[in-house]
Structure 1
Amino acid sequence: MTCTDEAGTSPVEPPANPDRGGAPGRVRSGEKVRPEQVRVHNRELLLRTLYREGPHSRADLARRTGLTRVSVSDVVGELLADDLVVEVGTRTGTRPGKPAIMLEFNERARQTIAVDLSHSTLYRGAVLDLAGTVVARQDVEIDGSTGTEALTKVVGLVAALRDKVTAPLLGIGIGTPGIVDVTGVVLSAPNLGWQDLGLQSTLVQRFSCPVVVSNDANATVLAERSYGRSAADTLLIRVGVGVGAGLLLDGTPVLGSRFAAGEIGHVVVDVASDRKCVCGKLGCLETWLSTRRIQDDLSYAHTDAERSRVLAVAGEALGAVLAPIVAALNVSEIVLSGPHRVLEGPLAAAVMETIRQRALTEVHGDIVLRLSELGDDIVLRGAAAMVTSRQLGLT
């Protein structure tokens, strides 16, 4: 199954734009506004309103968005034709006059393919609807694959998921460890053996469909913002095959000038350590905190006390890395995403205690640390949210 760009272009890769994905027709600051841009803006505005707030009549939408009734009627006609909006009967109540026809965002109108490459043993994939609900799944064993072999497995996984799609395909979202630029090039992913890999362009060429590729932690923090309960200023730590951070400031993702914001996994925690990291250095945070390393360390723990100490040491390492970030940015919330059996308890407690010891308690003492409630599908839902954001303007 192929798919077409929702702004009306042919099924090719949308141009990159760090703001919100750069789908065609979006208005940029200082740019002369064209009729096509106005149309796209109005479509997205109405879709977002229905997506976030539930059913509205045409008159409600005009009042809520500030658009004219004529503009609302024209755009709603397009959205009904595209099946992105459906009529769901008339408003109940005692208002005089003809009852208003209510409009609702159609969560089943499109599907996305999402892939999560952050786990240590599986590449996980799913087909999701526009509400972020999983409608089909497919996994593939990693079996130590890296480099070209890993890429081949990812392409095969997407192909298998494409056969499970039962509605028009909106696009493909990939959450991967490593540094990823806005064009979907994986600049560096040591755990996958990828360097300067054009993953997005490879998948676009193979599947003739819009593709969004992002760091898994950035996808995770978008999922927390879209489907969870994250604050506007949030630091999310993703623990999987690697360790990364996604950062929101005032609700806006921070990527960094070279797209490496949040690459905390390869910060050296102990210069005297003999723990070798996949990046080639010794003593990186990942050598204590990645799921593989924690599992290895726990295998040598024979009592509950020894197990708690292993987890506390990993938490201390993470807290040591996070303390200067908390001090510099004054974030209000830290969210941990990964296996709860590892992160909760001694590890989370050690993170907070270390931050309190190393940062100014009077200023940062009210910071909240919690575990994500979105479960194992958080990267998948974040990858799907990246697609709906780029293609439909939904955030």
Structure 2
Amino acid sequence: MQQPSRRSLRPEDTRRSNLALVLQDIYDGPALSRADLARSTGLTKVTVSDLVAELMASGLVHEVGTSADARPGKPSTLLTFDPGSRDILAIDLSAKDQLRGAIFTLGGTLVSRIDRRLDGAVGAEALAAARGLAKDLLSAATRPVLGLGVGTPGTVDSEGRVLRAPNLRWRDLGLQDLLAAELGIPVRVQNDANVAVLAERRFAGGADDLIRVHLSRGVGAGVLVGGQLVSGAASDAGEIGHVVIDEDGADCPCGKVGCLETWISVPALTARVEAEPERRDHVLAEAGTRLGAALAPVVGMLGLAHVVVGGPSALIDGPLVAATRETVAHRTQSDFRPDLDLKVSSLGSDAVLMGAVALVLLSELGVA
């Protein structure tokens, strides 16, 4: 029987990995010398000098003077990352009835925004709106573009194909390839909750082992274990929104009944609060209890101590997140488990856009 072929490591793979190592240190730290980089990466000084020359030629890195070391000899030349050398385009498709687009620097600084209303559009009309927004962002960029990152609701495979997005009525849509062909730039498409958890780690100091719940048009969770995004065998890790929590509950767009999303998506929560304004805190606490019940088995199984909940602060910051924290802690508490750190995201409504930036940095530069 023929054995499956194994791809051997090529010299260009090693070089790309080494470039990412060097760039990661320069991106994250203060100005460093070539000798500093050799020490931190374990690479030889000759290799580091060669890699730095390539990064400088690309405009990603530049020299910023010399070190103030008191050691004898010639002062070391210091290097720093240039966040303004490229633009990154970002699109968030997760908001209800709106597409959000933005241009960022490589350092995650917002340059400009372009938003589009969907006005109820789904299917082909929603796709046309997303394509138009991507083209408008590219036209508005004023510097070379590193790539476009897209956070979309639904299940997305490793090739950026949207396998199913019930709220947008998309199924088996090759969104990444389609946009890359139209724009002529690198494009990365990922589930919105997955990119949001990347944003928590890159831009909000999140832990390497982390769950981030994303409440928007739907409900999803991004999971990091050891700093690596957990995708799952069917690219659906973190799809807690379609876990059934109430078999006598409301119909869900996915076709099931009583999914978590029918309780704690932003539209569902808003409708419940508006229907019973005098019971607002009770409604939000009940939603938090249900979210906590869905999260507890995951937290317990993976031994996680850090959970972030993101969404509109008016809905989640208060009774909802307090009830979620209490429920998860109660159901997973143990003499051997560290205290649960469950908090509201500091990234606000820009978490998916920031995550799209993090996704491009990771895929194009290896900066995690």
- What interval of TM-score do these two structures reach, taking the shorter chain for normalisation? over 0.9
CA deviation vs aligned residue, 1:308-342 (integer Å, no higher than 9, x gap): 11111211221121122222222111110111111
**Structure 2 CA distance, aligned partners of 1:287 and 1:97?**
68
**Structure 1 CA distance, aligned partners of 2:332 and 2:191?**
28
Tell whether the 8 Å contact from 2:84 to 2:105 is kept in structure 1 after alignment: yes
1:225 to 2:198 alignment: no
**Structure 2 CA distance, aligned partners of 1:250 and 1:72?**
27
1:82 to partner: Cα distance: 0.8
Match of 2:215 in 1: 239
1:231 to partner: Cα distance: 2.0
Match of 1:22 in 2: none
2:98 is aligned with what amino acid? Answer: L
**Unpaired segments ≥5 residues, structure 1:** 1-29
Q: What pairs with 1:2-151 in structure 2 (closer than 5 Å)?
A: 32-151=8-127
1:171 to 2:143 alignment: no
**Structure 1 CA distance, aligned partners of 2:42 and 2:328?**
46
Pair 1:68–1:363, CA change in 2 (3 A): closer
Determine which structure has greater relative contact order: mean sequence separation of CA pairs < 8 Å that are 6+ residues apart, divided by chain length. Answer: 1
1:375 to 2:351 alignment: no
The aligned length equals 363
Tell whether the 8 Å contact from 1:54 to 1:105 is kept in structure 2 after alignment: no
Pair 1:364–1:46, CA change in 2 (3 A): closer
1:282 to partner: Cα distance: 1.7
Using the TM superposition, name which of 96-105 and 233-242 deviates more.
96-105
Match of 1:355 in 2: 328
Tell whether the 8 Å contact from 1:62 to 1:69 is kept in structure 2 after alignment: yes
1:248 to 2:232 alignment: no
1:99 to partner: Cα distance: 2.1
Tell whether the 8 Å contact from 1:175 to 1:383 is kept in structure 2 after alignment: yes
Residue identity (%): 47
**Structure 2 CA distance, aligned partners of 1:69 and 1:365?**
42
Pick the aligned partner of 1:205 from 174, 177, 181. Answer: 181
Match of 2:295 in 1: 322
Match of 2:268 in 1: 293
Match of 1:308 in 2: 281
1:216 to partner: Cα distance: 0.6
1:357 to partner: Cα distance: 4.3
Tell whether the 8 Å contact from 1:186 to 1:199 is kept in structure 2 after alignment: yes
**Structure 1 CA distance, aligned partners of 2:32 and 2:253?**
53
1:39 to partner: Cα distance: 2.3
Pair 1:106–1:193, CA change in 2 (3 A): same
1:135 is aligned with what amino acid? Answer: V
SS in 2 for 1:247: strand
SS in 1 for 2:89: strand
**Structure 1 CA distance, aligned partners of 2:227 and 2:170?**
30
Match of 2:159 in 1: 183
Pair 1:365–1:348, CA change in 2 (3 A): farther
1:284 to 2:252 alignment: no
**Structure 1 CA distance, aligned partners of 2:244 and 2:298?**
15
2:340 is aligned with what amino acid? Answer: I
**Structure 1 CA distance, aligned partners of 2:311 and 2:256?**
24
**Structure 1 CA distance, aligned partners of 2:11 and 2:339?**
48
1:271 to 2:247 alignment: yes
1:352 to partner: Cα distance: 2.3
Tell whether the 8 Å contact from 2:329 to 2:340 is kept in structure 1 after alignment: no
1:244 is aligned with what amino acid? Answer: G
CA deviation vs aligned residue, 1:91-115 (integer Å, no higher than 9, x gap): 2243322222111111111111110
1:236 to partner: Cα distance: 0.9
Using the TM superposition, name which of 364-373 and 198-207 deviates more.
364-373
1:291 is aligned with what amino acid? Answer: V
**Structure 1 CA distance, aligned partners of 2:38 and 2:303?**
39
Tell whether the 8 Å contact from 2:87 to 2:144 is kept in structure 1 after alignment: yes
SS in 2 for 1:235: strand
CA deviation vs aligned residue, 1:110-144 (integer Å, no higher than 9, x gap): 11111011111321111111111111110001211
CA deviation vs aligned residue, 1:208-234 (integer Å, no higher than 9, x gap): 111110001110111111111222221
SS in 2 for 1:299: helix
Tell whether the 8 Å contact from 2:33 to 2:77 is kept in structure 1 after alignment: yes
RMSD, matched Cα: 1.6
SS in 2 for 1:188: strand
CA deviation vs aligned residue, 1:64-84 (integer Å, no higher than 9, x gap): 222222222222111111111
Using the TM superposition, name which of 294-303 and 128-137 deviates more.
294-303
SS in 1 for 2:255: coil
Under a length normalisation based on structure 1, what TM-score does the superposition of the two structures give?
A: 0.88
